[in-house]
Amino acid sequence: MNRVSSTNISLMLKRLKARNETFYETSYEKRSINRLQAMEKLQPLIENLDQTTSATNFVADVEASFTQESVKVLTQDRKRTIRLAAAAEVVGSQKVLEWIAAAKDDMEEFTWVVTTETPKPPAEISPELLEDLDTLVQAAPPISKNCYGREFR
């Protein structure tokens, strides 16, 4: 068994930690929503609210159907309707209220970027990383039955 100094082990662990970002591939997607799209999505919910839906169900539907980004492009009147319905709930919908609070501007369109990190397949993991891991495993002391004051069976 090869002996590796604690300094070398420490350096290898730091390199492993620094390489952590190489295990993921980052992709960026530009998304956009305009007022017409958001209003078309909201209209059936408004109609249900006017007819039969309670404020609680309406806010739950808004939370399920919308994102913070899509709320930004609603008209001020529709934002007010959602805010009043959310505030009328006994428990309130903090998420929807936060979306409305952040959507103060009267925007026709909003664009944002979604970042996604996807794990790389093992074949793409660097060979140097695997060598460092192998060295650490080889340098690890064998585990005995009474290791670190605990009895292993």
What percentage of the chain exceeds 70 in pLDDT?
66
Residues in CB range of 72: below 8 A, 6 or more apart: 102, 103, 105, 107, 110
pLDDT at 91: 59
CA 80/CA 83 separation, integer angstroms = 5
Place of tokens 């492009």: 73
pTM of the model: 0.52
Higher pLDDT, 5 or 145: 5
